[in-house]
A and B are shown apart, each in its own frame.
Chain A
Amino acid sequence: MSDATSAPPPMEAEEENAAKGLTAGTSSPDKDAPRGLWSDAWHDLRRNPIFVVSALLIVFLVVIALWPSLIATRDPQRCDLARSLQGPSAGHWFGFDTQGCDVYTRTVYGARASIAVGLCATVGVALVGAVVGGLAGFFGGFWDTLLSRLTDVFFGIPVVLGAIVFLSMISLSGIWPVVLVIAALSWPQVARIARGAVMTAKQHDYVQAARALGAGNARLLLRHIMPNAVAPVIVMATIMLGTFIALEATLSYLGVGLRPPTVSWGVDISAASDGMQFRNAPHILLYPAAALSLTVLAFIMLGDAVRDAIDPKLR
């Protein structure tokens, strides 16, 4: 029999054991331990087939956007008019377009422009939207009124119409004018979501607690509000990425987006969309259009899956 005082009461001993179990849990993740928002989301996402398929597709697209020569050995600019509009054949699965260029090679190389425009525009939209919406939500009052009305003004501009007007005025080539115009016209959606998320996060007691400790606005925003308000912005941005790729194709089709010699799906669709040609050689329209649809679909599905995973209401 040991000394009674040295033996801990049963409840404390239990707590001690639980504590040890938890401490062990931190070194090797415990299956049953509650997790944070992101690890919970990751846990859900790994089991979601939609996420897995779309993520694999996006990884594949990004890889061929970075290194198109991995799967397309030909030069997209080297065309042979003699082979104009030839159909699919053994060496050239997707056939040839009007200029006699290999449709497969051009479709593979087109991924780069589309994904670059989508990614850059999304980054721009997320930055502008998060800053404007975040400041409006955080400071409230006069700044909220001012920034929210500014957001409304931009929200009122139809994106395609605005983009056509701006892009036909400037005569720069390359992807940057397109990226800038998309970002400048699409940020209000993100700003609204960011404003709402920041206003929700601002109400929490831990923000008040930090304020009571004497924390400045920068600390409140960066350490307390932003990490807790960023999730809906990320979801929105992922979904928007898909629509931006479609928007780039739309603008290129309309002749104001990317222009030849830049290789992009929009440019190819535009070139292939003559009615006569479509009846004679549908392949030159179908392949780039299918690639575009698949990419847009992949990003939107990814965004949807991420939203479902991090929305606690759906759990």
Chain B
Amino acid sequence: MADRGEPILRVRNLVKHFPLTRGILFKSQIGAVQAVDDVSFDLYEGETLGIVGESGCGKSTVAKLLMNLEQPTSGEIFYKGEDISKLSGRALKAVRRNIQMVFQDPYTSLNPRMTVGDIIGEPFAIHPDAAPKGSRDKRVRELLDLVGLNPEYINRYPHQFSGGQRQRIGIARGLALNPEIIVCDEPVSALDVSVQAQVINLMERLQNELNLAYVFIAHDLSIVRHISDRVGVMYLGKLAEVGTDAQIYDHPTHPYTQALLSAVPQPDPEGRDTRERIILAGDVPSPANPPSGCRFRTRCWKAQDICAEEVPLLAVPERYKDSDTGAKHESACHFAEDKDIVHA
């Protein structure tokens, strides 16, 4: 892909461990849930980075760390060159104007006691310089119009809306401060499929109109493929593979990505018999006690001794360094191998 200049968000070696403690008065740490372990990625202006992975792999924790709702155990998050993970007070408040979030569940992300006008207008109440007092009402109506809701709805309460409409309200709230980055934590997974498509289309339209960068977290591979420019696959707190959507979907090199893709439902009955289904053995190990070396090795059919000893780094595999196929992208596997799953 062409050079897109400096990334607006650079995440480096992000780690979040939740301590497990014992005792009431004299607490002693007996371990840690390694929710996010050494995650690094870049986000460029106006692009969508999809992050996929199964439940409990640390996707939502990454979102909370990006939003500074949780403090990372170590690692840095650079927004335009400034490390925002250690900011607090006024400086943090200023950065928050540029990074906003859309939440997963539209039924709990809107305060049931506030009108839509108050909910979308709250960013202006918190950041009074974002909109002069007299123009706030007008701005809220504009935002409602922008996300495809009737501006007359300004005095309604959230319970008077459907799930899709509520998610539009959540998006309008996220847009109010004109952010550059929006972190979307499974924004459509609580919605019906038909409504999912409407919301995704809205998000794509807004991205084009407002030049937004999305970090799009989801577990639905087809939606991620539809909206993302680049995709990162997470497993047990680590990124397994990162590449453009074509690279990941057509040339997956990490065994976990291949297993995930083989589970995507095949609409054409003709192709079902010929396609290989990779069925993984066992369950995801506990993040409190992850396997040594490669975290995927306990369920991997390629695992050898080296996988237990050495943590595979997220890098372009040696054998594909000079390749000009889609297999030339970062993959954290000792035995990375291009294998077309979707079209096979």
Contact = CB atoms under 8 A, between A and B. Distances in A.
A157 interface: no
Contact of B67 (A19, A204, A212, A215): A212
A209 interface: yes
Given A22-B160, A23-B152, A26-B155, A210 B122 contact: yes
B253 interface: no
Nearest to B118: A223
Contact of B69 (A208, A219, A223): A208
**Which label, helix, strand, loop or mixed, suits the secondary structure of the A interface?**
helix
Contacts of B80: none
A224 B114 CA distance: 9
Contacts of A208: 64, 69, 103, 109
Interface stretch (A1-9, A32-40, A185-193, A259-267): A32-40
Interface string B158-174: 01100000000010010
Given A205-B105, A212-B96, A26 B150 contact: no
A227 interface: yes
A211 B157 contact: no
B19 interface: no
A224 B123 CA distance: 14
Contact of B103 (A36, A37, A209, A228): A209
Interface string B270-302: 000000000000000000000000000000000
A213 interface: yes
B108 to A, nearest CB: 4
Interface in B71-115: 92-93, 96-97, 100-101, 103-105, 108-114
A204 B114 CA distance: 14
A22 B149 CA distance: 13
Given A212-B96, A213-B122, A214-B127, A227 B113 contact: yes
A240 to B, nearest CB: 24
A166 interface: no
A31 to B, nearest CB: 14
Contact of B159 (A36, A211, A213, A224): A36
B152 A34 contact: no
A63 B159 CA distance: 38
Interface in A40-98: none
Interface of A: 19, 22-23, 26, 33-37, 204-206, 208-215, 219, 223-224, 227-228
Interface of B: 64, 67-69, 92-93, 96-97, 100-101, 103-105, 108-114, 122-123, 125-127, 150, 152-153, 155-157, 159-160, 170, 173, 177
16 contacts: A22-B156, A26-B155, A36-B157, A36-B159, A204-B111, A206-B110, A208-B69, A209-B101, A211-B69, A212-B69, A213-B123, A214-B92, A214-B93, A215-B122, A219-B126, A223-B111
